[in-house]
């Protein structure tokens, strides 16, 4: 009985607090991917477990989209397109798994292969944009390292002074009543 109560309280609190980013993600989907948003609305009623799993994936997608858009609109657009294509690909995959009609399976498989190819193309754009960001970050880090190497004596002098001052402040505080 006690474990049920803990589970119930935890579940209730999670409902009250909402998932991190859930409402922002739903708004984003409504604006950027209305078909996915509509599908989620239907899943929420028809298949709550699938809804939760799909929404968790959408929240993760939205977080990555927001991270990437800070350095590359092209990369973020490709990432979103990849997500949308993958969302459609799942439908085709489900239809193939349910079908017993060989002709329909072949047609759907061909369409699924096209989707996966398109998704791969978007993934390549996304990865290339991430690689450009990493290369730019490395260039900045290398410049900073070179600059620090040239200024070593000044940095050592400043760090020595700072450390001594921090020790003096600590000693003053520790001796104070």
Q: Read off the pLDDT of residues 2-18 as tens digits, 9 standing for 90 and up.
A: 444 444 444 444 444 44
Model confidence pTM above 0.75: no
CA angle, 50 then 55 then 60, to 5°: 130
**What are the angstrom distances between the C-alpha of 106 and each of 110, 112, 113?**
6, 10, 10
Q: Read off the pLDDT of residues 50-103 as tens digits, 9 standing for 90 and up.
A: 999 999 999 999 999 999 999 999 999 999 999 999 999 999 999 999 999 999
Higher pLDDT, 36 or 16: 36
Mean pLDDT to the nearest integer, 137-160: 95
């Amino acid at each position: 009985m006690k474990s049920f109560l803990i589970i119930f309280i935890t579940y209730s609190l999670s409902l009250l607090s909402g998932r991190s980013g859930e409402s922002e993600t739903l708004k984003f989907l409504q604006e950027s991917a209305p078909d996915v948003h509509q599908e989620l609305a239907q899943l929420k009623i028809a298949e709550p477990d699938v809804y939760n799993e799909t929404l968790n994936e959408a929240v993760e997608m939205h977080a990555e989209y927001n991270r990437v858009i800070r350095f590359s609109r092209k990369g973020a657009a490709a990432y979103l397109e990849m997500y949308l294509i993958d969302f459609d690909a799942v439908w085709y995959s489900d239809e193939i798994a349910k079908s017993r009609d060989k002709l329909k399976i072949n047609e759907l498989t061909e369409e699924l292969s096209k989707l996966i190819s398109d998704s791969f193309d978007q993934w390549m754009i996304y990865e290339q944009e991430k690689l450009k960001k990493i290369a730019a970050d490395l260039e900045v880090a290398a410049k900073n390292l070179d600059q620090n190497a040239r200024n070593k004596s000044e940095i050592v002098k400043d760090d020595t002074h700072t450390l001594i001052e921090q020790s003096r402040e600590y000693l003053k505080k520790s001796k104070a009543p």
